[in-house]
């Protein structure tokens, strides 16, 4: 019997609030982000899921979200594996810049291409395809085998690292994935078949706040 994979994007970070490109920079959650993570934890607790292991990135906003979920579900002794393979997309020279300032410097069209194209990276950074190139092998070797053994696995990570996973799980095209936004703090529960395809997907919470 195959297991369950739960993906959660971290709650709002301080730099999300300030409209800054974040990437591998390491701001923590805002008060709203903390509440979003707690809301996600409550939704997960209601499902009755008991996790076997959790994965997260090396960035504090994802780790803090995971801690709040573990606490809120009463599973604080959960083994946690942290790896930079699950980090947010690296925005390179854009990291730390206000998005409006970046548009003023490079032009709205160019910044839009960097943000929303599949395979055009910003200067010194990663495209979504580049992000997937490190997320997918990690998923295939470290996460998926556990799910296929019947474990229930929690992954608390970032908008773009999780979009890379959703792309293969939901079998989305390049065009579909670049227009997909994942809500902060909202768990996505995947139950997988033995061949690693998706048997069912449930989103726990209000997707209207996706941005």
State the catalytic residues. 10, 88
User: Three-state SS across the chain?
Assistant: CCCEEEEEECCCEHHHHCCECCCCCCCCECHHHHHHHHHHHHHHHHHCCCCCEEEECCCHHHHHHHHHHHHHCCCCCCCEEECHHHCCCCCHHHCCCEHHHHHHHHCHHHHHHHHHCCCCCCCCCCCHHHHHHHHHHHHHHHHHHHHHCCCEEEEEECHHHHHHHHHHHCCCCHHHHHCCCCCCCCCEEEEECCCCCEEEEEECCCHHHCC
As given in the structure block, the two tokens for residue 165 are: 């996973």
As given in the structure block, the two tokens for residue 92 are: 């390179």
8 Å CB contact between 53 and 32: no
- Return the bridge partners of 206, or none: none
Residue at token pair 């903390």: 34
Count of other CB atoms within 10 angstroms of residue 60: 15
């Amino acid at each position: 019997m195959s297991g369950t994979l739960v993906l959660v994007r971290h709650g709002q970070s301080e730099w999300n609030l300030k409209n800054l490109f974040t990437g591998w920079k390491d701001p923590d959650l805002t008060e709203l982000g903390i509440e979003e993570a707690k809301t996600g934890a409550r939704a997960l607790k209601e499902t009755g899921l008991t996790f076997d292991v959790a994965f997260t990135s090396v960035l504090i906003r994802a780790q803090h979200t995971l801690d709040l979920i573990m606490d809120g579900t009463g599973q604080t002794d959960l083994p946690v594996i942290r790896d930079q393979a699950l980090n947010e997309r690296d925005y390179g020279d854009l990291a730390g810049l206000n998005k409006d300032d970046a548009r003023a410097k490079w032009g709205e069209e160019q910044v839009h291409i960097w943000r929303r194209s599949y395979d055009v990276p910003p200067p010194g950074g990663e495209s979504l395809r580049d992000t997937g190139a490190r997320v997918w092998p990690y998923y295939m070797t470290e996460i998926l085998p556990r799910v296929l053994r019947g474990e229930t696995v929690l992954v608390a990570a970032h908008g773009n690292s999780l979009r890379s996973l959703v792309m293969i799980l939901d079998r989305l095209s390049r065009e579909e994935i670049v227009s997909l936004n994942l809500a902060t703090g909202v768990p996505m529960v995947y139950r997988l078949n033995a061949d690693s395809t998706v048997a069912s997907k449930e989103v726990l919470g209000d997707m209207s706040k996706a941005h």
